[in-house]
Structure 1
Amino acid sequence: MRQVSLFLFLISLNIYFGQEKAILSIDNEQVLKSEFEQIYWKNKKEKIATKEDLDEYIKLFVNFKLKVKAAEELGLDTTKKFKDELIGYRVQLEKPYLIDTSINEELINEAYYRTINEVSASHIMIKLGPNPSANDTMAAYKKIESIRNKINSGVASFEELAEEVSEDPSAKFNKGNLGFFNAFKMLYSFECAAYETPIGKVSKPVRTRYGYHLVKPNSIRKAKGKMRASHIMITTSPRVKDNEASETKINSIFNELKLNNKTFEELAVEYSEDRKSAKKGGEIGWISSAGNFYPEFEKAVFSLKKDGEYSQPFKTPNGWHIVKRLEFEPIGDLSDLKYELKNKIQKDSRAQKTKSSFINQLKVEYNLKENFNQKSLLSIIRKKNINNDNISEFQEIKELNSYIISFSEINFSNWDFLNYLSGTKMLDKCKNDVKLLNDMYQRFIDNKLIEYEKTQLERKHPDFKALMKEYRDGILLFEISDQNIWTKAIKDTSGLKEFFNDNRNKWEYPNRVNATVFSSSSKKIIKKAYSLKKKGNISNDSIITILNKENPLNISFENKLIEDFKVYNSSYENLEKGINNPTLKNNKWFFIYAKEKLDQRQKELKEAEGIIVSAYQNYLEESWIKSLKKKYAIKIDYNTLYSIKEKP
């Protein structure tokens, strides 16, 4: 499903419009002031409207309206592709309207408490497979109960039994201790046991999809927020007893930091053995307390008190690290986190609470009536031997056409229920399982109520109706733009070449030098490197090996294409091909070995195709908008536009 969020800032349309002036008309279609104003204020942080802002926004709005109108005239809103995509978005947009919001508020408050408070807990697990039999389930339950009784009677400690009998493999070395975690990090039933069981006590058996657990909360603490950090890492090998070389190297890097010879980011790029983060100057993103990092790493990160501060070298199982604090973000208050928590709840198993309560409300609202006789239906199924394969043969049986539920002037029969069972492949299983039949009947009711409620959302919720219009127009805007701009720019090779030839003087290479740059904080070392390089028979790697024997950070080199010559106190004209004399800048010595001098020239199409295609797309869009403005009559009421002053 494609993302249309880039377009939605233009198209949040209001549903209810009173008797008011039109701010815009395109041919015979009008846009009222309230529609434009809702879109304008939705995407504007400031509370005051200026003439300049309104002038700029109305231009964007007109362009948007023209594109959507063009898409409608092409019939893009009638294609299967469009309808399927809109249905896909609708499935996601419906979710917040199909829950009990009061229960949801309780869950949000619960999740917030569990977000700002982290619990450390241990567990013992007895496994169960994906579809365990009743006997297997009972055996696992009895086993976990037996373990709990041993702990409570003092026969053995929780930790001893975790190491001895837990079927979580990690318990062999951590004695069941899972460390600190907070909301949404564990399955909901497990999370509840950890937060609701008193500290130091053992929970009752908890069932998850993995099996049965005993949970023992060890302690609780306030969450520390999150930190954006960078690190430099030198790895150690578990196979090598003495990793002295790794420690020596990290200490050398730390000394370079203290001397301010290079920035943290430069040292990370050059030396960090976490190559993924090294490419970004060591940045590893945001780290939350109770996250997935080693305790030693988390402790070092959260000990830093100021942005820009870095730690002493420290060791984790992965190796030696120096970590730098980039930015700290405390945990927000409930109003700040409410939207995020709401979204997480909708995707989590705890959302089932809100759905069950909501269905009960629908039963009352739509006056649900039931007339289901399970014995009678089972008798017919067994007597006629109705199954998934032959169900269509029995549609005319009178008893199957009697109504079993009705609501909001809609009726459903035994036949409808049997079709539901057949569609879910559960009909054969229900023949000999009364409990399963009753469960499926309740699911049938829930299903029909929710299906009906979905058809009423636009009537009951004007904001939902507006949201659907927003996504509808967003998809159309994407499709028409893809056809007329993005894909066209790529496929129209002749048009692209013509555009490039007409504008090729816009894309040029500056003067450049393909070079190797040697750098060191020591004049003595750089002179030695210069002498070795001048001999011409020693490789760059050999020079580094020779000069870094005593200190791995004595000297380094980098192969690069130089465009900015001021960085090196030089110019394109002054740099000679081959070796150039050492120079000092910013307390750093360096010399340049110029392998090739590349004069300024125009780029060929294949050398800058990305930016040229982008420029061609802009050209196509501008041309298209001009043609649309000629095709349709556009009228803007500027008096009404400028009457917008303050955010309502």
Structure 2
Amino acid sequence: MKLIQLFIVFLSFNLFYGQEKPILKIDDDEVYISEFEQIYWKNKKENIATKEDLDDYIQLFVNFKLKVKAAEEMGLDTSKKFKDELAGYRVQLERPYLIDTSINENLINEAYYRTLNEVSASHIMVQLSPNPSPKDTLAAFRKIEDIKLKINSGIASFEELAEEVSEDPSAKFNKGNLGYFNAFKMIYPFECAAYNTPVGKISKIIRSKYGYHLVKPNNIRKAKGRTRTSHIMITINPKTKDIKAAENKINSIYKELTLQNKTFEALANEYSEDRKSAKRGGEIGWVSSADNFYPSFKETVFSLKDDEEFSKPFQTPNGWHIVKRLEFEPVGDLNSMKYELKNKIQKDSRAQKTKASFINKLKAEYNTKESFNPKILFDLVKKKGINDQNFKEFNNNKVLKTPILTFNDLTFSNIDFIQYLIKGNLYEKCINNIDLVKIHFQKFVAKELIEYEKTQLEKKHPDFRALMKEYRDGILLFEISDQKIWSKALKDTTGLKKYFNNNRTLWQYPNRINGTLFTSNSKKIINRAYKLIVKGRINNDSIIALLNKEDALNISYKEKNIDDFKNYNTSFDNLNDGANKPIYANGKWYLFFVKEKLVTRTKEFNEAEGIIVSGYQSFLEESWLRSLKEKYNIEINYDILYSIKEKP
């Protein structure tokens, strides 16, 4: 039966590739339509192929394949660096093929339910160190048992004991209440206890890497979805703790928003003290109702009913905020979320369920036989004094050579198992513990089955084979491009300077001014600023402080070089040195103080090095591709190319 299955895999594999005709030939190397289509459709949003699009893409594909062929001829695919990098990618790509997909479906459905429904839960924790002794483990278990007994007997409530004895520091303030969360927010055993225990009841004692827990679900609600959100934040100065100053500033910003003098994005960029988001116009990304934000922040975000709606100012422990709803997205249906959930499961501890089931399937598929007798082995170990230093001296011992595991014509002996234990620093722990030996033997069996299965993936899964080739070629492309283009452009200083001198007219400064630009929404305020500047008695910061006494947003300024004058309804020629009279443009008043007028000129190398290097890289790539196209014979089968119509 096993031979028939392998024959079918081999036959289907050969039929699949045997029926294909090459879409491209570079000398004697043939590239089939399946490889072209895999990359083509991956990089194309539309589901329909056009002749123009195919013509453009086949040229890019030819360039790609030429570079890969050149990399192979240089032997880059034989280097240790290449092999190590490809092996690292392979570890990631193998994962979806080394699980039981049927179990995975159950986990996806479970995760989807827990994404759709959020649970509010409290917990009591008795902490354990990362590597606790049996004595410490037993003491912690007895302590959590005693706590549960007190709750069940009514001596104290869950909340009282969480506050008094829980070793989670936050329990002193929240009585163990963790708020709402959903799938993947907690470690898997904790998540299961929260969702599987009836609301108001106490869970069984659960163990995590942090210790022992009791979990009490408080409520379950439908998830509210998620909102793409922006905010403007004004913090409270920790030294002065001047709450009023922060409140006044956020109220001034809110006034500007309501008067529509400036956009939310402009105000966030200018005033928000969360500088990371300020650079993006205040955007902080997606906020879900189960995320770890302050409750008042989430409540305000989800109180906004329309896109582009913004809130009134409100306070959290971080400071004062105004939030804006950019986009709302309800929880998707199962089909739309399947890929995302699958990826999360693979990275989560719940994936162990799929691995255990997968091992059992491999055992059946490869007709696995186990004949391990731990007592006989370790009686011999003790009798002969075999240890991790001298075990190789006993390689010819009959017991050690005894087969204990066979599958698919592979055989493993007791000596293989001992080497496994020694390599994992498990040998000394196992010598006097038969139960532990049995556990590690099953891990040994699983390891050997998985290692063998990895060698079969290309034969059993054509899509995996194609994916590995894509990654292989991608690594080669990057490496040779670095050698021939990117690094070469930086190291070849002579060639770079020559390229610059031959093309220096490409890089020029336009007419510019260096100076100070004042901005205000008020003609009265900007005219007062003009008079103060002309008098020249106080500096810019003092002008701003004086004119912003009543409103922190009356006027602002920036020191900058300006080369685009269209937005200010003026031109380079119209501006003079010193203070220029205020200009009204696009609903704002501007005042230029020109320190220096800088006329157009060619940039020196050090003034445009980045874009010059980039241009030289493009020049090197074009020259290299021309030489490759002259070196190799290229044949494109346009009949096959134009047979591509729709995305499979």
CA contact (8 A) 2:567 2:586 kept: no
The code of the aligned residue for 2:449 comes to: L
Distance in 2, matches of 1:347 and 1:647, equals: 30
SS of the residue corresponding to residue 558 of structure 2 reads strand
Q: What is the match of residue 579 of structure 1?
A: 579
Report the Cα offset of residue 20 of structure 1.
Answer: 4.7
Report the Cα offset of residue 16 of structure 1.
Answer: 3.4
- Please list, as runs of the form range in 1=range in 2, the aligned pairs for 1:182-261 lying within 5 A after superposition: 182-237=182-237, 243-261=243-261
- Please list, as runs of the form range in 1=range in 2, the aligned pairs for 1:39-58 lying within 5 A after superposition: 39-58=39-58
Q: 1:596 to 1:19 in 2, by over 3 A?
A: same
Report the Cα offset of residue 15 of structure 1.
Answer: 9.7
Structure 1 stretch displaced more, 322-331 or 288-297: 322-331
CA contact (8 A) 1:100 1:358 kept: yes
CA contact (8 A) 2:236 2:242 kept: no
- Please list, as runs of the form range in 1=range in 2, the aligned pairs for 1:78-117 lying within 5 A after superposition: 78-117=78-117
Q: What is the match of residue 75 of structure 2?
A: 75
Report the Cα offset of residue 39 of structure 1.
Answer: 3.6
Are residue 369 (structure 1) and residue 339 (structure 2) matched?
no
Distance in 1, matches of 2:461 and 2:34, equals: 18
CA contact (8 A) 1:15 1:466 kept: no
Encode CA deviations 1:142-201: one digit per residue, 9 max, x unaligned: 211221122222221111111011000000001101111111110000000011111111
The code of the aligned residue for 2:223 comes to: A
Distance in 1, matches of 2:404 and 2:34, equals: 47
Report the Cα offset of residue 435 of structure 1.
Answer: 1.7
SS of the residue corresponding to residue 233 of structure 1 reads strand
SS of the residue corresponding to residue 292 of structure 1 reads coil
Q: What is the match of residue 3 of structure 2?
A: none
SS of the residue corresponding to residue 155 of structure 1 reads coil
Structure 1 stretch displaced more, 36-45 or 85-94: 36-45
Distance in 1, matches of 2:576 and 2:508, equals: 23
Report the Cα offset of residue 258 of structure 1.
Answer: 1.0
Structure 1 stretch displaced more, 442-451 or 15-24: 15-24
CA contact (8 A) 2:35 2:466 kept: no
Are residue 623 (structure 1) and residue 591 (structure 2) matched?
no
Q: 1:345 to 1:157 in 2, by over 3 A?
A: same
Encode CA deviations 1:336-360: one digit per residue, 9 max, x unaligned: 1111111111111101100111111
Report the Cα offset of residue 237 of structure 1.
Answer: 4.7
Q: What is the match of residue 433 of structure 1?
A: 433
The code of the aligned residue for 2:29 comes to: E
Percent identical residues: 69
- Please list, as runs of the form range in 1=range in 2, the aligned pairs for 1:332-371 lying within 5 A after superposition: 332-371=332-371
Normalising to structure 2: TM-score of the pair?
0.95
Distance in 2, matches of 1:400 and 1:502, equals: 76
Q: 1:239 to 1:37 in 2, by over 3 A?
A: closer
Q: What is the match of residue 517 of structure 1?
A: 517
Report the Cα offset of residue 276 of structure 1.
Answer: 2.2
- Aligned length, in residue pairs: 636
Normalising to structure 1: TM-score of the pair?
0.95
Q: What is the match of residue 508 of structure 1?
A: 508
Distance in 1, matches of 2:67 and 2:14, equals: 19
CA contact (8 A) 1:14 1:35 kept: no
Moved over 4 A (4+): 237-242
Are residue 144 (structure 1) and residue 144 (structure 2) matched?
yes
Report the Cα offset of residue 537 of structure 1.
Answer: 2.7
CA contact (8 A) 1:14 1:466 kept: no
Q: What is the match of residue 10 of structure 1?
A: none
Distance in 1, matches of 2:393 and 2:578, equals: 90
Report the Cα offset of residue 241 of structure 1.
Answer: 6.7
Q: 1:277 to 1:550 in 2, by over 3 A?
A: same
Distance in 2, matches of 1:592 and 1:62, equals: 54
Q: What is the match of residue 307 of structure 2?
A: 307
- Please list, as runs of the form range in 1=range in 2, the aligned pairs for 1:373-522 lying within 5 A after superposition: 373-522=373-522
Q: What is the match of residue 324 of structure 2?
A: 324
Distance in 2, matches of 1:589 and 1:43, equals: 46
SS of the residue corresponding to residue 401 of structure 1 reads coil
SS of the residue corresponding to residue 471 of structure 1 reads helix
Encode CA deviations 1:224-254: one digit per residue, 9 max, x unaligned: 2222221111112567676222111111111
The code of the aligned residue for 1:280 comes to: R
Q: What is the match of residue 3 of structure 1?
A: none
Report the Cα offset of residue 322 of structure 1.
Answer: 0.7
Q: What is the match of residue 298 of structure 1?
A: 298
The code of the aligned residue for 1:493 comes to: T
Structure 1 unaligned segments of length 5 or more: list them. 1-12
CA contact (8 A) 2:229 2:286 kept: yes
The code of the aligned residue for 1:621 comes to: E
Distance in 1, matches of 2:24 and 2:279, equals: 50
SS of the residue corresponding to residue 538 of structure 1 reads coil
Q: 1:624 to 1:594 in 2, by over 3 A?
A: same
Root-mean-square deviation (Å): 1.8
SS of the residue corresponding to residue 291 of structure 1 reads coil
Structure 1 stretch displaced more, 469-478 or 345-354: 469-478
Encode CA deviations 1:344-381: one digit per residue, 9 max, x unaligned: 11111101100111111111111111221111111111
Distance in 1, matches of 2:239 and 2:15, equals: 68
SS of the residue corresponding to residue 16 of structure 1 reads helix
SS of the residue corresponding to residue 399 of structure 1 reads coil
CA contact (8 A) 1:520 1:590 kept: yes
Structure 2 unaligned segments of length 5 or more: list them. 1-12
Distance in 1, matches of 2:67 and 2:586, equals: 54
